[in-house]
Amino acid sequence: MLPTIAREGDIVVMIDQRKLPAQEIYVRCKTAAEVARAIKTMVIRGAPAIGVAAAMGIAIGMRNSKATGTQKFAAEFHKICELMAATRPTAVNLFWAIERMKRVFADAAQAGASVDQIKDRLDAEAQAIHDEDLASCRAMGAFGADIVPVDARVLTHCNAGALATAGYGTALGVIRGAVEKGKKVAVFADETRPFLQGARLTAWELVRDGIDTTIITDNMTGALMRLGKIDLVVVGADRIAANGDTANKIGTYGVAVLAREHNVPFYVAAPLSTVDLNTPDGEQIPIEERSAREVTHVGASQLAPVGARVWNPAFDVTPHHLIAGIITERGIFRPPYIESLRRAFEKETVASR
């Protein structure tokens, strides 16, 4: 299993995803601020992994606290939560994880727990978020495997793999699930400019697993589909609105349009923590814009002249009508999503009572 993120005592260890595949370097974060910076600078990325990292960052931040009274401790807690929330705006898993930590804190404080007891509860919750994410990915893999043809050529965009989660992956979890069920899968990975998550991360983790992987540049998707060489598209998600509109890595929308043009089923794989019923549709999802330098330079190479503007949105929104199904840890949801997703949460509420 890939070591995307792990606790070592009071340290959060992450593989530096900016350096892969050329170098395998681990970043050791000793403070909440270091974790927040790692999220912001994309040492770690991928919606579920960001949620796990934020929770672990809060946990070690509070573990480091020297506060003895619950009031000062609570003030520090809320400051750290704000720090985490300011890292990246689009992936809702970040806010979902922070909310879980806040609820645990509030429940413990209300029950009269001591500072040390609250620290233990926060540690346990962060670990639970990690472990549940891993279990969710495996469940997604098992459900999603069914929609993968026996001998399939599957296109994916960005990295929705082990590196984007606590492990196993969402979209790549579906591919791993299909392979585990004995299906033959050839993966086509969009390189996914500008951060190159497809070429650098998806290809790296699939090659490690011995899965047949071909890298293409993002602009080759159309030609590949037109040649009839893609049977299925599976991607991850950073936020799914109540109506099924899905924010995911920039370029996902174009892939979805091309998939429909060529009658290729387009699926999203994501844990229910990615679904945000408070966001009615894709229009309401905030889209992070990142620095021009991500586009104008690769390593030391200057790709663009001085004087040209750059537009660098990190995500786009795929409207629900282009999505054949949303693969979650609780099964595959189908249109109309406005109903199927709402029912998913109603069931969850009932189940947890």
- Choosing from 85, 272, 295, 338, the residue that interacts with a copy of itself (CB under 8 A) is 295
Which residues, 39 to 58, sit near a copy of itself by CB under 8 A?
Answer: none
Among residues 151, 212, 228, 347, which is the contact residue for a copy of itself, using CB under 8 A? 212
User: CB-based burial of residue 170 (10 Å sphere; 0-12 exposed, 13-18 middle, 19+ buried)?
Assistant: buried
- Applying CB under 8 A, among 66, 305, 346, 351 the residue interacting with a copy of itself is 305
Report the half-sphere exposure of 61 (CA within 13 A, side-chain side): 26
223 counts as binding a copy of itself under rule CB under 8 A = yes
Q: What is the dihedral of CA 218, 268, 91, 36, to 10 degrees?
A: -70
Distance from C-alpha of 12 to C-alpha of 235, rounded to nearest angstrom: 27
Q: Which is nearer to a copy of itself, 138 or 193 (CB)?
A: 193
Among 123, 133, 218, 329, binds a copy of itself (CB under 8 A): 218
Binding mask 260-279 for a copy of itself (x = CB under 8 A): -x------------------
d(CA 76, CA 336): 43
Q: Check binding of 353 to a copy of itself (CB under 8 A).
A: no
Asked if 112 is part of the footprint of a copy of itself (rule: CB under 8 A), the reply reads no
Out of 60, 97, 155, 189, the residue judged to bind a copy of itself by CB under 8 A: 189
CB of 177 to a copy of itself, least distance (A): 21
CA 344-347-351 angle, to 5 degrees, is 135
CA distance 160 to 21: 16
Give the span between the Cα atoms of 283 and 139, in whole angstroms: 30
| Candidates 109-117, 166-174, 304-312, 340-348; binding stretch for a copy of itself (CB under 8 A) | 304-312
